[in-house]
Amino acid sequence: MKPIHMTLALSLALSAGTALFAKEGVTNPTVKARQDTMQTIRRNTAVLGDMAGGKTAFDPAAAAAAKAELAAAAAEIPVKFEPQEGDPKSEAKPEIWTGWDDYVQKAEALVAAAEAVDTASLDGVRAGMGAIGGACKSCHETYRLD
């Protein structure tokens, strides 16, 4: 189970990397703000994923900080995405606003997955990565252009 979770988390961190610079050239400040929230989510997921995968040393304080930042940023998703704003560089699908309640539920699923991570041990972080990766994927595959 653990290797599968790790692989998922790491491949997610990597695939998210393809959109690392998507915000270059974004002119709509509302769109930029929501992409910045996603970047905060990506950065903190990578901190946890790197520890889970053994790329960086396990550090319970750093893991706890990443968990807290991830949960806080995920909790911001509904506020940041509520205005239906567009930008040529946006990857947001219009289904976000026609399926708003479902979209909010998917954001809440990420908050719950982040909050459930036990950062006291490396095993705890590893065990939590699958649900976090699943929450990203479940939302992106429906609501984000690829």
Q: Which residues here bind ligand HEC, judged by CB under 6 A?
A: 12, 16, 19, 22-23, 31, 34-35, 38-39, 41-42, 45, 77, 90-92, 96, 103, 106-107, 110, 132, 135-136, 139-140, 143-144
Residue 13 CB, nearest distance to ligand HEC (Å)?
7
| Cβ atoms of 108 and 31 closer than 8 Å | no
**Coil, strand or helix at 8:** helix
Task: Indicate the residue among 25 and 54 with the shorter CB distance to ligand HEC.
Answer: 25
| Cβ atoms of 115 and 44 closer than 8 Å | no
Residue 21 CB, nearest distance to ligand HEC (Å)?
7
Residue 120 CB, nearest distance to ligand HEC (Å)?
21
What is the number of helices (H) and of strands (E) in the chain? 6, 0
**What size, in residues, is the chain?**
146
Task: Indicate the residue among 1 and 101 with the shorter CB distance to ligand HEC.
Answer: 101
Residue 144 CB, nearest distance to ligand HEC (Å)?
4
Task: Indicate the residue among 5 and 34 with the shorter CB distance to ligand HEC.
Answer: 34
| Cβ atoms of 125 and 117 closer than 8 Å | yes
| Cβ atoms of 126 and 55 closer than 8 Å | no
